[in-house]
Amino acid sequence: MRLRSLKKVDIGIIGGTGLAAMLEDAEHVRVGTPYGLPPPISISKINGTPVAFLPRHGVHHSVPPHMINYRANISALHELGVEQIIATNAVGAINSNFKPGNLVVPHDFIDFRSHTFYDSSPVTHVDLSQPYCPKIRFTLIENAKKYSNIWEKAVLACTKGPRLETPAEIRMFKQLGCDIVGMTGVPEAILARELEICYAPICFITNMAAGMQEKLTADEVTEVAKKVVPVLEQILRETVKNLPRERHCLCVQALKEARFRG
Ligand code: HPA
């Protein structure tokens, strides 16, 4: 394992539950950051494009959601030169049309926490009018359709975890317009935007949210993940192949008008 790669990598994939590895013949690197050490990142090529794969929960799924060092993870991918990140997340369904095993590309989110690289001056307020990169979302949806049905819009409620929600919390999220609930889909989106990196996730539903089925178990999440992940990997490969390298979206200039001038 090398301490650091000097190669520029174009695309990052952050794998969530069930997806701790997917690149063949990868070089494994540790990238130190001012925020700490992220899990080992594997670097390889998909169809000639250099891709960095970061397992969000660590290689052996040992990092629980509330302990994920999101700043280190995004900072490390930035350090490698990554300009576009595709992520995967396991989520519960709040919208009763969505079912376990379904794939969803959310377009918006709710998260009441603060996630930022900018704790001091210049005070920085990034615009999240389009919370996820529209170009990655479009490419994900178009390529997912080749392999699966896909829900093309959803509002994600993001909690801290690691506990699951109560039925009352899910009813509240439903009233707020949320369709899915997960523990990891938001901090990365905000932090990526703060570094002008394009970011969008593809989520898979592992269960109906609390109060919508009798009980929730970790095994259920693992079982659905096992079934969905092979399809997800295909979709990710195809998306990387077809994702245009040039960036014309607003993510590229997220800091241009974000700095408070007083
Ligand atoms: N809630 C939060 N996170 C989740 C769930 C859920 O129901 N299912 C999978 N991840």
Phi, psi of 90 (to 5 degrees): -85, 135
For residue 170, tell me if it sits in a domain: yes
- The pLDDT value given to residue 11: 97
Output the CA 237–ligand 1 centroid distance in Å. 25
- The pLDDT value given to residue 6: 54
For residue 258, tell me if it sits in a domain: no
pTM for this one?
A: 0.95
For each of the chain's 262 residues, which pLDDT tens digit applies? Answer: 444 445 689 999 999 988 988 988 899 999 999 999 999 999 999 999 999 999 999 999 899 999 999 999 999 999 999 999 999 999 999 999 999 999 999 999 999 899 999 999 999 999 999 999 999 999 999 999 999 999 999 999 999 999 999 999 999 999 999 999 999 999 999 999 999 999 999 999 999 999 999 899 999 999 999 999 999 999 999 999 999 999 999 999 999 989 887 6
The CATH number of whichever domain residue 198 belongs to comes to 3.40.50.1580
- Of 205, 169, 177, 172, the closest CA to residue 109 belongs to 177
Domain that holds residue 31: 8-253
- Of 255, 256, 201, the closest CA to residue 84 belongs to 201
For residue 3, tell me if it sits in a domain: no
For residue 142, tell me if it sits in a domain: yes
- The pLDDT value given to residue 260: 85
For residue 2, tell me if it sits in a domain: no
CB of 165 within 6 A of ligand 1: the answer is: yes
- The pLDDT value given to residue 8: 87
What letters, b where the CB count within 10 A reaches 16 and e where it falls short, cover 64-101? ebeebbbbbbbbbbbbbebbbbbbbbbbbbbbeebebe
CB of 170 within 6 A of ligand 1: the answer is: no
For residue 261, tell me if it sits in a domain: no
For residue 260, tell me if it sits in a domain: no
CB of 23 within 6 A of ligand 1: the answer is: no
For residue 262, tell me if it sits in a domain: no
CA pair distance 50, 16, nearest whole angstrom: 20
- Of 29, 16, 136, 149, the closest CA to residue 86 belongs to 136
- The pLDDT value given to residue 7: 66
**Helices H, strands E: what count in the chain?**
5, 11
Beta bridge partners of 13: 53, 86
Total structural domains within the chain? 1
